[in-house]
Amino acid sequence: MCLAFGFSQTSNGQVSYGIKAGINYNSSTFSAVKNDVLSGAESKTGYHAGLWLRFKIPVVGFYIRPELVYTNLENNVNYKAIGSTTKTSTSYNFQKIDIPVLLGKKIFGIGNVYAGPSFQYILKSGFGFSDLKEVSSNGFTLGLQFGGGIELGKIGLDVRWERAFSGVETTFLGNTGNVEFDTRVNQIIVGLSYKF
């Protein structure tokens, strides 16, 4: 908030803001996205929506773009409970707040490239199985986002890759005992933005 207030004191030409929304695709690489789509989209998709600000850094030609984004993700999880010899698959859904803080640069007048950390807080998580009685998650995670996009007037389109650094350790209580696993995801993020 202090950063936003400080930059808001600069001229209007140095600050822009808007809204954004788009889809998230859980996958480790762009080639895996292609393979998943061709084989029936085994990975799951999600969506996001939020707000963004952009502060130009005088003289050096870079900008800082913090965002506040609500994200809903779904993925398949394979696990083997204690005492079991077979793996079980279930859908895993969670909602989180993402706060990416990106350092970017405009190129060729309409293009942008950027990278930076993404701070995340898990709001809610749940499974598609009725026998999973209790779920608990460590809510804070950290990731890295980088990507690029284009802006045509007030409309922007961007593609990002997000790599999770810290895991979201999740524990649930099944019929055969506690099971722990890491629910961190790598994702491709496609977003559409509007500048006011």
Question: Which pLDDT band holds residue 142 (cuts at 50, 70, 90)?
Answer: confident
Q: Tens of pLDDT along 87-131?
A: 666 666 778 899 999 999 999 889 999 999 999 887 876 655 444
Q: Tens of pLDDT along 153-182?
A: 999 999 999 887 765 545 554 544 555 555
Q: What is the pLDDT of residue 134?
A: 46
pLDDT at 147 over 80: yes
Q: What is the pLDDT of residue 125?
A: 64
Domains of the chain: 17-195 (2.40.160.20)
pTM over 0.75: no
Q: Tens of pLDDT along 4-24?
A: 554 454 444 589 999 999 998
What average pLDDT does the segment 43-51 reach? 85
Q: CB–CB of 77/183 below 8 Å? A: yes
